[in-house]
Amino acid sequence: MEKIRKFLLTDKEMPRQWYNVVADMPNKPLPPLNPVTREPIGPEALCNVFSEELVKQEVSQERYVDIPDEVIDLYKIYRPSPMFRAYNLEKVLGTKCKLYYKYEGGNYSGSHKANTAIPQAYYNKKEGMKRITTETGAGQWGSAMSFACQYFGLELVVYMVKVSFEQKPFRKLMMNTYGSTVIPSPSNTTEAGRAALKKDPDCPGSLGIAISEAIETAVKDPYTKYTLGSVLNHVALHQTIIGQEALLQMAKADDYPDIVIGCFGGGSNFSGISFPFLRENLVNGKKTRLLTIEPSSCPKLTKGKFMYDFGDSAGLTPLLPMYTLGHDFIPEKIHAGGLRYHGAGTLPSQLLKDGLIEAKTKLQRNCFEAGVAFARSESIIPAPESSYAIAGAIDEAKIADEEGISKTILFNVSGHGLLDLISYEKYFENNLVDHAMTNEEVDAALSKIVFPA
Amino acid sequence: MEKIRKFLLTDKEMPRQWYNVVADMPNKPLPPLNPVTREPIGPEALCNVFSEELVKQEVSQERYVDIPDEVIDLYKIYRPSPMFRAYNLEKVLGTKCKLYYKYEGGNYSGSHKANTAIPQAYYNKKEGMKRITTETGAGQWGSAMSFACQYFGLELVVYMVKVSFEQKPFRKLMMNTYGSTVIPSPSNTTEAGRAALKKDPDCPGSLGIAISEAIETAVKDPYTKYTLGSVLNHVALHQTIIGQEALLQMAKADDYPDIVIGCFGGGSNFSGISFPFLRENLVNGKKTRLLTIEPSSCPKLTKGKFMYDFGDSAGLTPLLPMYTLGHDFIPEKIHAGGLRYHGAGTLPSQLLKDGLIEAKTKLQRNCFEAGVAFARSESIIPAPESSYAIAGAIDEAKIADEEGISKTILFNVSGHGLLDLISYEKYFENNLVDHAMTNEEVDAALSKIVFPA
């Protein structure tokens, strides 16, 4: 019988709703708090920063949210995304497991970020905004927003984490090609940036600082709103299109995953692929393990503390319940820039606390090794971020093989690594440092957290 | 009614045969000649350079050639490729024409080159080869061969045109990631390279020189064969999978093209998309215009001479009938590296001579302008090469609009430009030179051709 390597869906088969896991969570997420009063804050307090519709989605309890026609129409330029059976990788590994991957790199931004960029730009335009600010780490999110804003006729200003700005000049050029303004962060265009530079003129930046800069710029102007590419509930919501499609594609493959794996930065791609399968666990009695992989150098899920903390470095966001290493923790300069974030989204944090999802860590060299094995077998050069998911899948296949069990493993290849090839060069030159944070280092980071009096 | 933006085919709908235009050509292509005797040479003379099966295909008169199962199986990782209706670009242009594009950048190599790399690696492996040599200009072809060779277990040595090697470091890193050896050409590893360096130590290289180096290396070893990414008949044959699919996709769109457009380096992507439509013209009475766009700085089709010439600079290939600017002509360093080739393939040359296809030229800045308009509307950042096809399509749409006619235009976006972003930066900095070769310059180039006595 002919091997089926890729499982496609037609435009018509594309799901028309995002899935909101909040509706099925046994313990609902804790509310955001006002940092000064420590009282829960209502959605209205978020509306000077975010689009109103996105704030509604942020606090929604509805199980499914309709995807607007305008978003569906633009999704069609790259969705539904393919799901592949990784026959070649299976062969190289000599595994008895069945490996599948969903590939989110096949769109203009080269990653899953387009899935939420498009609706975020759409809602802001609809509400009369003229300009958007945002931050970007590795550059995927900034690229995703750049085209989406261009398409809907919005100006975009991107604060790009300085270490990525320097390591990844092509991402900046890509954003410029789509017509955006890109500013390395920390910059001297904001209070938050100037404060970071005063503390350390050579500061490599972090997503936390870049977020502070983007929010500060947005709140100064009534026609400018801020957008975030991960962490928040509405971002996870938009990303569920990945898992919604994967459910249908698994049915086409006449199979079902024992394990679903994604890498973890703020949580959006992992949430996207796993939440629809979590619903099957919670509602339909399935028992799929939902496993996320984070860098050993930024282990908020496996070693961080579940507590209220800020989403950004400068403390401009409300306090959010999350696993965190402290909002002013600056992660090591690993090449998976998109995973360099101090905290985890509220939803995956609560789900981890409740034992409904799992987390493990990996060192970066081991992930590049997995990424190269994947490229040489499956042909796609993965983003360094995605290589964490690949490494996780390879590990799980090995464990299953040792136990003599054939498992079905689905992992998310969240993006391609074509603009990260310099990182691969460093890997080949044996020029990458591995660091696993110790408990002591985590304690030291957490002890530095300062909240407003 | 919902807009259908992309027209997909399932794995099962993928054509299982390549189309050989030779079977339907009113004037068959002239035979290759021995450069010394000027007598026609038989296929056996090619077999010390190329795989036997590829030589068979080179001279085949069969209308259709079966695609081997092993090739189909690997095609499935990225084929069938999508065909898009360019609604957004149409809107930006304000055209009444219907624009469709076939997108060949959605595979590991980022271009159509994978379509022939896979069968070329496959046949060589099947015939017991251990090592492959090749040249690459912009890097797409080298990347395509790198994964294909890795997959089939062949070693690969790539001679990369030096100007591209320097302009496009990421392409080299990509080939390295797939495990290939990349040598900037001209190099001191071959006679041909040393001769070029002696003539000009700062020689930027050309496809012609790189081909000479790769052939010279191949013929030294019985387990090494050479492969070429364009120009030859068997390459055009493999690329017809593009047009074969497009025929089916046009039927799904319930439409048919008045014009089919591709850019032109050696001719393979243009041949690939246009030959199946040419068959419809020749056999089924259709009247589609088949238009190819070449750079004004390398105008072999529009200003070159139809004559016997070498395929490479050093004169290692047989003499081939082609439109040429002279085999030692070194084109200007435009950023569409893949179009910097002195000659045209035998098949498109004969077809142009017979008036069955058309050719026009474009300046590079105008093509980058078209490429940016395409990126900002359709979201894909095209390869500089592909931007020539886009610019051609925009021109034809404008002409039709001026005439008050709505035409259906299909163009081939042969690859993405993610590894060419430095070229875009130069365009934005207004740092690109435009040069249209004059008739005098062409005459001067042609007068320099030297043949063996």
DSSP collapsed to 3 states, A241-277? HHHHHHHHHHHHCCCCCCEEEEECCCCHHHHHHHHHH
Who among B8, B147, B177 is closest to A8 (CB)? B8
Q: Do B418 and A379 touch (CB under 8 A)?
A: no
Q: Give the model's pLDDT for residue A336.
A: 83
- Mean per-residue pLDDT, A307-324: 91
A-B contacts at Cβ under 8 angstroms: 116
Average confidence score pLDDT of chain A:
95
Q: What's the token pair of residue B74? A: 């690997």
Q: Residues 6 or more apart from A98 whose CB is under 8 A from it? A: A85, A90, A255, A406, A407, A408, A409
Q: Give the model's pLDDT for residue B1.
A: 66
- Mean per-residue pLDDT, B173-179: 95
CB count, 10 Å around CB of A44?
9
What is the distance in angstroms between the Cα of A86 and the nearest Cα belonging to chain B? 10
Confidence band, pLDDT 50/70/90 cuts, at residue A70: very high
Residue in B closest to A150 by C-alpha: B376
Confidence band, pLDDT 50/70/90 cuts, at residue A453: low
CA A239, B382, A413, A132 torsion-angle sign: negative
Angle of helix B233-252 relative to helix B346-353, nearest 10 degrees, comes to: 70
- Mean per-residue pLDDT, B92-98: 98
Q: Do A4 and B10 touch (CB under 8 A)?
A: no
How far apart, in Å, are the Cα atoms of A85 and each of A90, A91, A97? 9, 12, 11
What is the domain extent for residue A405? 6-14+68-110+240-447
Q: Do B173 and A11 touch (CB under 8 A)?
A: no
Q: Which chain B residues are within 8 Å of A8, Cβ to Cβ? A: 8, 10
In CATH, what number is assigned to the domain containing residue A282? Answer: 3.40.50.1100
Range A64-67, long-range pairs (CB < 8 A, 24+ positions): A64/A17, A64/A18, A64/A19, A64/A20, A65/A17, A65/A18, A65/A20, A65/A237, A66/A16, A66/A17, A67/A15, A67/A16, A67/A17, A67/A18, A67/A119, A67/A241
CA distance A402 to A348: 30
Q: Do B425 and A151 touch (CB under 8 A)?
A: no
Residues of chain A that touch chain B, judged by Cβ-Cβ distance less than 8 Å: 2-6, 8, 10-11, 73, 76-78, 84, 88, 106-108, 110, 147, 150-151, 170, 173-174, 176-179, 372, 375-381, 418-419, 421-422, 424-425, 428
What is the distance in angstroms between the Cα of B110 and the nearest Cα belonging to chain A? 10
Is B72 among the domain residues? Answer: yes
CA B169, B171, B177, B183 torsion-angle sign: negative
Q: Give the model's pLDDT for residue B317.
A: 87
CB count, 10 Å around CB of A288?
17
| DSSP symbols for B277-308 | HHHHHHHH----EEEEEEETTS-HHHHSEEEE
Output the CA torsion A372→B118→B324→B439 (10° steps): -50
Confidence band, pLDDT 50/70/90 cuts, at residue A169: confident
CA distance A299 to A325: 8
Q: Give the model's pLDDT for residue A89.
A: 97
Q: Are A383 and A105 in contact (CB under 8 A)?
A: yes
Beta bridge partners of A84: A6, A101
Confidence band, pLDDT 50/70/90 cuts, at residue B331: confident
Who among A372, A380, A421 is closest to B108 (CB)? A380
What is the distance in angstroms between the Cα of A340 and the nearest Cα belonging to chain B? 24
Q: Do B5 and A378 touch (CB under 8 A)?
A: no
What is the distance in angstroms between the Cα of B100 and the nearest Cα belonging to chain A? 13
Beta bridge partners of B307: B322
Q: pLDDT tens-digit profile of B199-238?
A: 999 999 988 899 999 999 999 999 999 999 989 999 999 9
CB count, 10 Å around CB of B96?
13
Who among A147, A170, A372 is closest to B379 (CB)? A147
Q: Give the model's pLDDT for residue A426.
A: 93
Is B373 among the domain residues? Answer: yes
Helix, strand, coil shares, percent, chain B, to 5 = 45, 20, 40
Q: Give the model's pLDDT for residue A317.
A: 87
- Mean per-residue pLDDT, A266-273: 97
Asked if residue A204 has a cis previous peptide bond (ω within 30° of 0), the answer is: no
Q: pLDDT tens-digit profile of B42-67?
A: 888 889 899 999 999 999 999 999 99
- Mean per-residue pLDDT, A247-272: 97
Residue in B closest to A170 by C-alpha: B421
Is A320 among the domain residues? Answer: yes
Q: What's the token pair of residue B429? A: 């900095």
Q: Give the model's pLDDT for residue B449.
A: 87
Q: Are A209 and A329 in contact (CB under 8 A)?
A: no
pLDDT above 90 for B129 = yes
Strand order in the sheet with B155-161: B181-185, B155-161, B131-136, B224-226
Residue of B173, B372, B429 best to disrupt the A interface, most CBs of A under 10 A: B173
Q: Which chain B residues are within 8 Å of A84, Cβ to Cβ? A: 77
Q: Residues 6 or more apart from A66 whose CB is under 8 A from it? A: A16, A17
| DSSP symbols for A117-173 | HHHHHHHHHHTT--EEEEEESSSHHHHHHHHHHHHHT-EEEEEEEHHHHHH-HHHHH
CA distance B66 to B87: 35
Q: Give the model's pLDDT for residue B107.
A: 95
Q: Which chain B residues are within 8 Å of A5, Cβ to Cβ? A: 11, 73, 76-77
Is A303 among the domain residues? Answer: yes
pLDDT above 70 for B453 = no
What is the distance in angstroms between the Cα of B12 and the nearest Cα belonging to chain A? 9
Among A144-153, A167-176, B372-381, name the one with the lowest average pLDDT: A167-176
Q: pLDDT tens-digit profile of A375-416?
A: 999 999 999 999 999 999 999 999 999 999 999 999 999 999
Strand order in the sheet with A408-413: A6-7, A83-85, A98-103, A408-413, A259-263, A289-295, A358-362
Confidence band, pLDDT 50/70/90 cuts, at residue B333: confident
Q: Do A177 and B421 touch (CB under 8 A)?
A: yes
Is A98 among the domain residues? Answer: yes
Helix, strand, coil shares, percent, chain A, to 5 = 45, 20, 40
pLDDT above 90 for A57 = yes
CA distance A172 to A163: 12
Domains in chain A, number: 1
Q: Give the model's pLDDT for residue B220.
A: 94
Name the residue among B257, B300, B305, B245 with its Cα closest to residue B103. B245
How far apart, in Å, are the Cα atoms of B158 and each of A111, A217, B176, B220, B224? 30, 49, 10, 16, 13
Q: Do B425 and A5 touch (CB under 8 A)?
A: no
Q: Which chain A residues are within 8 Å of B379, Cβ to Cβ? A: 77-78, 107-108, 147, 151
Is A399 among the domain residues? Answer: yes
Residue in A closest to B177 by C-alpha: A372
pLDDT above 90 for B335 = no
Roughly how many angstroms between the first and final C-alpha of chain A, as a whole number?
A: 68
Average confidence score pLDDT of chain B:
95
- Mean per-residue pLDDT, B374-387: 96
Q: Which chain A residues are within 8 Å of B88, Cβ to Cβ? A: 151
Is A167 among the domain residues? Answer: no
Q: Give the model's pLDDT for residue A168.
A: 76
Residue in A closest to B176 by C-alpha: A425
Q: Give the model's pLDDT for residue A1.
A: 66
Triad B377, B381, B383: Cα angle to 5°? 135
Q: pLDDT tens-digit profile of A354-367?
A: 999 999 999 999 99
CA distance B184 to A333: 32
Q: Do B170 and A170 touch (CB under 8 A)?
A: yes
Parallel, antiparallel, or unpaired: how do β-strands B83-85 and B98-103 relate?
A: antiparallel
Q: Do A428 and B176 touch (CB under 8 A)?
A: yes
Is ipTM over 0.90? yes
B6's enclosing H/E stretch is: strand B6-7
Q: Do B176 and A84 touch (CB under 8 A)?
A: no
Confidence band, pLDDT 50/70/90 cuts, at residue B139: confident
Q: Which chain A residues are within 8 Å of B8, Cβ to Cβ? A: 8, 10
Who among B3, B77, B170 is closest to A73 (CB)? B3
Is A310 among the domain residues? Answer: yes
